[in-house]
Structure 1
C-alpha cells in the first residue's frame, strides 16, 4: 500500500469515527433537551393543578360556611329587580295572545363579611334568581290595537330558579374579596401544600425529591419546606390566590435539587450502551491504526535491514571471491607470503560477517531471555580501557585519538565482562564511524551519589531530535539518502540498550546536528 492510499484510508476512517461520535453526542444532547422540555411541561401542569386544587378546596370550605350561616339566620331575603325581559306574540289562526316575562331578581340575605373574617366588613352575599311568567289570552284580547290586556289571562305559568352562572360569579367575587384579607397560613398549610404537590407530581410520573415555598411580593413566607432554596435553573413558579382583577401577590415556587439526575436518568441505560460501544470502536480503531502503522514501519525497517545487510555482506563476499581467485592464480599460489596475506583477508572478512550474524542472534536471544548474562564485581575503569584498546587500531588508522578523563573515585560495579565490553566497543565504534574527519573521542567517568557516569563524546556528524528518540530502536538508522558511507544495520545500539538495562543501568544520548554526540551510561555502584 503506497503512502497516499494509506493516508487517505486513515483520513476516511478517522472522519467516520469522528462523525459517529458527533452523532452520538448530538443524539444525547437532543434527548436531554427533549426530556427537559417534557419535565418543564409536566411541572407546569402540576403547578396549575395544585393552584386550582387550593382554590377549589378554599371555595368549598367557604361555601359550606356560607350555607350554614344562611340556614342559621332564617331571614327573608330582600329582593331587588335587576332586569326584566318582555315578549309579546299573537297567533291569528288560534286567536291567542301569549305574553312572556323574565325578571332577574337579586336576593340579599344581608349577611356581612365579618361572619367569615373579622377584617371583612362591607361585603354582602346573595343569589340571583330568575322569575319567569307565561300568560295566554284567548279571543279578542286587544282593545283598538293597544297592548292593554284583559284583567285575567286564560292560562298563567310561573317558574322561578337560581341562575347558576351568575350566581356562581356573584359568589366568587364576594369570596375572593373576603378571603384576600386572611393571613396566608389560614388559607393553606405547609403540610397540605406538600401533599397536593406530591400527589400531582406522582400522577405525572415526576418521581424526584422536591422543595417548595410560597413567596409574597418576592419575599419568602412561612409556608415553605425546610430546605427550599431558590435556584433559577431548577425552580418553577405560578401565581396563586388571584383576586377579582386577576392579580396576585403570592407565587408558588417548586425546586428540584436532583433535576439533572432525574432528566438524565431515562437516558442512562441507552447512553451508557452507546458510549460503551463508541469506546469499543475507538479502542479497536486505535489498536488497528497502531497495528497498521507498526506493520508499515516494520515493513520499511525490514526492507531497510535487508538492503543494509545485503550491502554489508556484499563487500566481504566480493573481497573473499577476489582473494580466492587470486590464490588460484598459478603465479601467486607458489608465493607463500601473498597466499598468507589473502588467507588473512578471507579470515578477517569472514570474521566481520560472523560478528554481524552474532549481533542479530544476540538481539533475538535477549528478547527471548535466552542469553545467559552472569555478573561479578569488576572495576569498570579496566573494562573501559580494554574497550578503547579494541578500537585503538581503527582510530590510529584514521589518524584519530581517544582522550581519557577518569575522574570517578569509585568505579566498582556488578557486570558481565564480555557483554559490557561489547557495549563500550559498540558505542566507541559508532563514534568512529560517524566522524567524517579524523575521530577525536573523549571518554569521561565521574561519580554522582551511588552511581558512576560513563560519557563517550565525539565530534562527529551528530543527529537530529527525531533520531535521538529512536536511536536505540532495533533496525533503526538515520536516513542519509542513497549513500552507504556508514556501514551498519541498526542493531548495535539496540543491543547496547538491552545489555545496559539488564545491568540495572540507563543510557542516554545528547546530540546536535553537525556538532557531535555524547552517549551517557549511568550504572549503580557496589558499596
Structure 2
C-alpha cells in the first residue's frame, strides 16, 4: 500500500469515527431538549389546572352561600329574590362590605335578619347590569341605605342564566379580592392539587411553591421555596373577567435536571459505552496499522541490509576462487592458503549472521534450550574480552576492566551470556568513530551484581534509547551507512538477560558515548 493511500484511508476512518461521535452527541442533546420541553409542558399544564381549580373552588363556596340565601328567602317570603348580596363584617374596623348585583330595576325592602348583618333593615335599589360595593358602619342609622331590585324568576326556576352567572362571578371575585390571599387558598390545597396533576403526568418529583403579589412573597408558600427566575415556573391566579391579576403562583423543582436526565440516562450510558468501545477498537487497529507498516519498513531494511551483508562475503569468496583457479596462483601455496583462509573467514562471517537470525527466532518461539550453571561473571567478562581485543588493538584502542565486585557467582549459561557481553562490546567498537575506548565495571549492590560497559563513542538520542532493544531497530543516520548490522544483536542481548532474571538498561548522550548496565542476582 502506498503512503498516500494509507494516509487517505486513515483520514477517512478518523472522519467517520468523529462523525459517529458527533451524531451520538447530537442525538443525546436533542433527547435531553425534548425531555425538558415535555417536562415544562406538563408542569405548565399542572399549573393551569391548579390555578383553575382553586379559583373554581373559591367561586363554588360563594355559590353555596348564595343558594343558602335563596333557600332561606323561599321559606320566609313569597316574593322571590334574584339579587346577590355578599357581605363581610370586619370586627377590627367595625365596618360591613356589601356587594350587590342584579338585572332588573325594582325596589325591595328586606329585614336585616336575612343576612345577619346587624342592620335593622335594608332598602336596595337595583341598577340594570351593574355591580357595586359599599362600605357601611355597623350602626342602626344605616337603615334604608341600600335599595334592592329582586328577580323573581331565578328562585321560581331554581337556576341561573349565563348572563346572571357572569354577574354573580364578577360579584364574587370583587368581594374575594378584598380578602388576604392566605384566607382565599391554603398551602395544603395548592400542594395536593399540584401533586395530583404532576403524578398523573408521570412527574413524581419534590417541588417548592409560593404565591407572590407584585413580586413580593405572601404567606402562602412551602417551607423551602427560593425564587430562581431562570428555573421557576409561574402562572397568574385569581384573575378578573378581563384577565388582570395581582397574584402569581410560582413553582420550582430543585432536582429538575436530574429527573429530566434520568429518563435517558440508560440510553446515554449505552451510547457512551459503545462509542468508547468503537474508539478503543479504532485506536488499537490504527496503532496496529502503524506498527505493521513500521515493521514492514524495518523488515525491508533488514532484507536489504542482510543482502548487502551476504553480497560482500560472497563476492570475496568468488574472487578468491577465481584467483585460485589461475595457474600462476595455484602453484603459489602461500597465496592459495591465504585465499582459502579468506574463504573460510567469509564463510564463518555468513554463518554467524545466519545464527543470529535463527537464535532470535528460537528465542521468540521459546524453543531455545538454555541450561544454566554456577559461573563467575568475572570469568565470562575476561573470556568475552579475548574475542574482541585483537580488533580493539588493531584500531589502536583499549578495554580497561574495573572488576570491583567481591562476589560474582551467578546462575547463567556460559555460552549465551558470553555472547551477551561480546555483543555489547562489539557495539561499543562499531559505534566508536575513533579508537575504541571501553571501560568495564562490576560492583555488588545488595544481593545483585552490576555490570557496566561504558564507551566513548557516538552515543544515541533519547528516542533511540527507548527502542534500542527492539528487534530490527537501528537508529536512522540519514544516508550514512558506515556501521553494518541487522538490529538483532541488542534484541538478543535483552532476551538472554531477561531469561536470566536480570535487567538491562542504557544511558547515553549524543557524541559522548553510551553505558550499558546489566543487573543480575547473585547466588551463594
Please report the TM-score for the alignment, with normalisation by the length of structure 2: 0.79
Partner-residue secondary structure (3-state), 2:11: helix
CA distance in structure 2 between the partners assigned to 1:374 and 1:120 by the alignment: 118
- Offset of residue 266 of structure 1: 4.2
Task: After superposition, give the CA deviation of every residue in 1:63-98 in whole Å (9 maximum; x if it has no partner).
Answer: 32443355447777999xxxxxxxxxxxxxxxxxxx
- Offset of residue 160 of structure 1: 5.3
Partner-residue secondary structure (3-state), 2:4: helix
Residue 77 of structure 1 contacts residue 107 of structure 1 at CA under 8 Å; is this kept in 2? no
Q: Output aligned runs, 1:48-63, within 5 Å.
A: 48-63=48-63
Residue 264 in structure 1 maps to residue 240 in structure 2: no
CA distance in structure 1 between the partners assigned to 2:305 and 2:93 by the alignment: 109
Task: After superposition, give the CA deviation of every residue in 1:20-39 in whole Å (9 maximum; x if it has no partner).
Answer: 31232123223322321232
Task: After superposition, give the CA deviation of every residue in 1:17-68 in whole Å (9 maximum; x if it has no partner).
Answer: 2233123212322332232123222212212211221222233234324433
Residue 397 of structure 2 contacts residue 437 of structure 2 at CA under 8 Å; is this kept in 1? yes
CA distance in structure 2 between the partners assigned to 1:355 and 1:219 by the alignment: 96
The match for 2:132 is: none
Partner-residue secondary structure (3-state), 1:123: strand
The match for 2:424 is: 427
Flag structure 2 segments of 5+ consecutive residues without an equivalent. 107-150, 155-160
| Alignment CA distance shift 1:254-1:206 (3 Å) | farther
RMSD after superposition: 3.4
Aligned partner (choices 391, 411, 414) of residue 414 of structure 1: 411
Partner-residue secondary structure (3-state), 1:378: strand
CA distance in structure 2 between the partners assigned to 1:525 and 1:221 by the alignment: 86
Partner-residue secondary structure (3-state), 1:114: strand
Aligned partner (choices 504, 517, 522) of residue 519 of structure 2: 522
CA distance in structure 2 between the partners assigned to 1:414 and 1:386 by the alignment: 17
Residue 387 of structure 1 contacts residue 422 of structure 1 at CA under 8 Å; is this kept in 2? yes
Aligned partner (choices 467, 470, 475) of residue 472 of structure 2: 475
Q: Output aligned runs, 1:419-458, within 5 Å.
A: 419-458=416-455
Residue 363 in structure 1 maps to residue 367 in structure 2: no
CA distance in structure 2 between the partners assigned to 1:220 and 1:112 by the alignment: 25
| Alignment CA distance shift 1:78-1:481 (3 Å) | same
The match for 2:186 is: 188
Residue 474 of structure 1 contacts residue 490 of structure 1 at CA under 8 Å; is this kept in 2? yes
Partner-residue secondary structure (3-state), 2:505: strand
Aligned partner (choices 251, 254, 257) of residue 253 of structure 1: 251
- What is the count of residue pairs matched by the alignment? 468
Residue 208 in structure 1 maps to residue 204 in structure 2: yes
Residue 445 of structure 1 contacts residue 454 of structure 1 at CA under 8 Å; is this kept in 2? yes
CA distance in structure 1 between the partners assigned to 2:442 and 2:469 by the alignment: 22
Flag structure 1 segments of 5+ consecutive residues without an equivalent. 80-104, 133-157
- Offset of residue 337 of structure 1: 3.3
Q: Output aligned runs, 1:296-311, within 5 Å.
A: 296-311=293-308
CA distance in structure 1 between the partners assigned to 2:237 and 2:479 by the alignment: 89
Residue 502 in structure 1 maps to residue 499 in structure 2: yes
The match for 1:114 is: 89
- Offset of residue 366 of structure 1: 0.9
Aligned partner (choices 92, 105, 129) of residue 103 of structure 2: 129
Residue 47 of structure 1 contacts residue 237 of structure 1 at CA under 8 Å; is this kept in 2? yes
CA distance in structure 1 between the partners assigned to 2:434 and 2:173 by the alignment: 111
Residue 235 of structure 1 contacts residue 256 of structure 1 at CA under 8 Å; is this kept in 2? no
